[in-house]
Each structure stands twice: as C-alpha cells, then as structure tokens.
Amino acid sequence: MVRLVKAKFIPLAVDGRVINKYHDSEVDFLRDLKCVANGAHGEVWVITAGGKRLERGEMIPDSKTFQASLERGLKAWAALPQSDRKAGAVQVPERGAIDPKRAVAVAPPEGTLIVRVHNRQLGRNAAGECRHTVPDDYIPALRDPKLGVVATAGTTNLFSQPANDMMWITKAEALAMMPTSPRKGQTFKVPATLCERIFRFQLDPGRGLSEADSFPNATVNAGQLQLTVEEASGSEVRLRLDGFASLNNPRAYLQQSQNPTTKKFSQSQIPLEYQPRLLGYLAYDAAKKVLTRFDMIALGDVRGRPVDENLFGERVGEANLLGVAFELVTDPKPADYLSPKGLRDGGDNYNLPRYLGLKK
C-alpha cells in the first residue's frame, strides 16, 4: 500500500475536524467535497485537484481490501477525460488567506524549532535492561479475544510501537539555551516555559492511546531540567541536559465512575504517576547562534493504566517503563509541520498562548 500511494497519488493528510468551525479556501474545498471525517474516525478518499470525488478508501485492517479500494480510485481516475487529469490541464486557484483561528496550526511562529517526539512503552529483560514490549507485558484482556475486549490476539502489537507527536521550541527559548560566552562546566536552567511544556504535554503515558492530556495541570515545579556546557572550545558548543520530573494525576473521578469493562479487567491503580529521569545532548553553532542538536530521552516508570476510560496499553505489574525520545528536525518536510498535540486545546481549538505557557 505504501508503494502504491507513493507512486500513484499525491498523498494529503488533514485534521478533518477543521471543517467543523473554520472557513477559508482549503477548508471550504474539503467541506464542499464531503471527503473528510469531521470526528474521531478516519476516512480516506481519492479526489482530483479540480474537485471531483472518485472513490472511498475501505479502511479494513487487512492490506488487500484497502489497496483494492485505492486501485478502484485509480481506475476511476483513468476513466476521466484528459481535461480533468492531464498534467497541467487543471488550473488551481490561489489559496487566499488562511482562517486566522487555525493559522498557527498551519505554520508555527517565526523562528520556532520543531522537535519530533516519540513515546514508547518499554519492558525490562532478565538482566534489568530495557527492551521492547512483548504481548505478555500486557494484561490478559488485551491478549485474549475470549475475554471479549479485543478482537484479535495481535492487538498488543499496536501498543508496542511508538506514538509520535511534535514539540515546538520558540526562538527566545532556543536563544536562552545558547549562552554567548559559554564556559566548560557552566550550568544553567532550561527555560521555564519549555520545562513546563515538556512536563505538561510531552511526558504523557497516554500519548497515542487517548485524546486526553494525562497531566494537564503540570507546571515547571513538577521537575528540574538543567544544562551543562560540556565543550566550548570550537565553533560548536555542546551541552548536556540532565533532569527529572514527578508527574501525577489522582484521577479521583474514577473512584466513583468507571467504564464497566475497564473496571472489570483493569489491574492497575487509579492514580496515574510518571517519574522519569531525563538526559539529553544539545549543540549549537556559536557564530550563527543556531541550535543544531536537541536530542533528549525521558525514561522512567509509570504507575496506573495509561488511559482513564479504557484499557488501551495497560500493562501487567505495578510499575512499567515508558521512554520518550526527542529529536530536533533540522530540515523540516511538510509533514513535520504537524501541530503538537499540546497546541490543540480540547480537540480542534488551537491555543498557542496555553501551549507556549504565555497565558496563566
């Protein structure tokens, strides 16, 4: 399927919910064509640049059905007159202004650095070393279809893969991490707004498993992040980042009310806790004042099931490892401009001040 899409289509990924409240030429095109899902379920369509809807993708979790539906779309495309499909034949009008309420999701503020973030559940081998998870790491309800929670025994494969999110570092925060006269051994704090962003939005056991934020009230006081200059003699300055976080959410509301299936099969405590250590390496060009490296990991134990309302990703045992990797994107492609989860305040509202920590 991947090869087919790459070779035969122009692939476009969109947040379908934009059609619920925004208006500009792009959103109106989607709305008029009725080719997007405006809610939590996904949808795929084959469409034309000129605005024709050809075939709906059948999103069945077997590669053959979906591929066959895309191939039907290609047949429908081939049946169109040349005036609809010949290279250069269709004139696409100018885009015009983006709805200001969604502009920040289209492009971040000038000078923003983009960091790719991956959250992955991990296990430990007999020697105590980290490893990828295996099916037996997950509670029986997620492994055994006979218990009625999952349709297949392979469901745990979904939870063993990383979830990906993005994080933005503002121009001011980046500058604050690049001292003008660095000295080897010099230490200073990571900017408070960046700390809070990391603690509140990026160290989340539920990332990829739930729409909710696990620690929405976390502040800069939830941990400490410190930078140490490791090398300052050349044109490149290198820094090490050390820190920790202590994040918790008592989820008291679950004491009174839980989904019956979740209550029946969950084996975890109700309060959610994540207490990782963080280690990272940064580098910057001293002359150009450009950050060239921001690689960081968080690693620690999670207590409590990752999602409050269901069993997604729930592990066997009281404490289970979660690793989060952060990597600076030095040459962003279009897909790297995906807005961070934390920018979305309650679904499709884009709240930049909240995300950047400017609004208290």
51-80 positions binding other proteins, by CB under 8 A: 54, 57, 70, 73-74, 77
Q: How far is the CB of 106 from other proteins (least distance, A)?
A: 7
According to CB under 8 A, which one of 58, 99, 101, 106 is a site residue for other proteins? 106
Minimum distance of other proteins from residue 240's CB (angstroms): 8
Per-residue b or e along 15-51, where b marks 16 or more CB atoms closer than 10 Å to that residue's CB: bbbbbeebebebbebbbeeebbbbeeeeebbbbeeee
- Say if CB 104 and CB 315 are below 8 A apart: no
In angstroms, the Cα distances linking 202 to 37, 118, 233, 326, 331 are 26, 9, 33, 9, 22
Cβ–Cβ under 8 Å, residues 170 and 190: no
279 binds other proteins (CB under 8 A): yes
Name the phi and psi angles at 279, rounded to 5.
-145, 135
| Stretch (H or E) spanning 165 | strand 163-169
Phi, psi for 13 (deg, rounded to 5):
-115, 130
Please select the residue that binds other proteins; options are 275, 309, 329, 351, rule is CB under 8 A: 275
> Quick check: 274 and 300 in contact, CB under 8 A?
yes
Contacting other proteins (CB under 8 A), which of 23, 34, 64, 95? 95
Q: How far is the CB of 222 from other proteins (least distance, A)?
A: 6
292 Cβ contact partners less than 8 Å away, ≥ 6 residues apart: 236, 283, 284, 285, 328, 330
CB nearer other proteins, residue 165 or residue 173: 165
Taking the complex as a whole, the smallest distance from the CB of residue 309 to other proteins amounts, in Å, to 13
CB of 252 to other proteins, least distance (A): 17
Residue with tokens 């690049």: 178
With residue 103 as reference, give the H or E element that holds it.
helix 103-106
Closest approach of other proteins to the CB of residue 327, in Å: 7
Least distance to other proteins from the beta carbon of 232, Å? 18
Q: Which is nearer to other proteins, 163 or 194 (CB)?
A: 163
The one among 99, 112, 323, 345 contacting other proteins by CB under 8 A: 323
* Binding status of residue 351 toward other proteins by CB under 8 A: no
Q: Which of 36, 225, 283, 356 binds other proteins (CB under 8 A)?
A: 36
Nearer to other proteins, 8 or 101 (CB): 8
Q: Show contacts with other proteins in window 137-156 (CB under 8 A).
A: none
Shortest gap between Cβ of 89 and other proteins (angstroms)?
Answer: 7
CB of 94 to other proteins, least distance (A): 8
Least distance to other proteins, CB of residue 180, Å: 26
Long-range contacts of 28-31 (CB under 8 A, 24+ apart): none
Radius of gyration of the chain (CA): 23
**Among residues 23, 34, 64, 86, the one that binds other proteins under rule CB under 8 A:** 86
Question: Which residue do the tokens 């109700």 mark?
Answer: 270
- Interacting residue with other proteins among 182, 191, 205, 300 (CB under 8 A): 300
- For position 30 contacting other proteins by CB under 8 A, the verdict is yes
**Alpha-carbon span 277 to 31, nearest angstrom:** 45
Report the relative pairing of strands 290-303 and 319-328 from DSSP bridges: antiparallel
Contact yes or no for 301/320 (Cβ under 8 A): yes
Instruction: List, in order, residues 6 or more apart from 17 with CB less than 8 Å away.
Output: 38, 39, 347, 348
Angle at 197 between CA 193 and CA 200, to 5 degrees: 130
Among 162, 189, 259, 286, binds other proteins (CB under 8 A): 162
**Binding residues for other proteins restricted to 327-346, rule: CB under 8 A:** 327, 333-335, 337-339, 341, 344
Binding-site residue total for other proteins (CB under 8 A)? 101
Interface residue with other proteins, options 15, 71, 99, 236 (CB under 8 A): 15
Minimum CB distance to other proteins smaller for 174 or for 247: 247
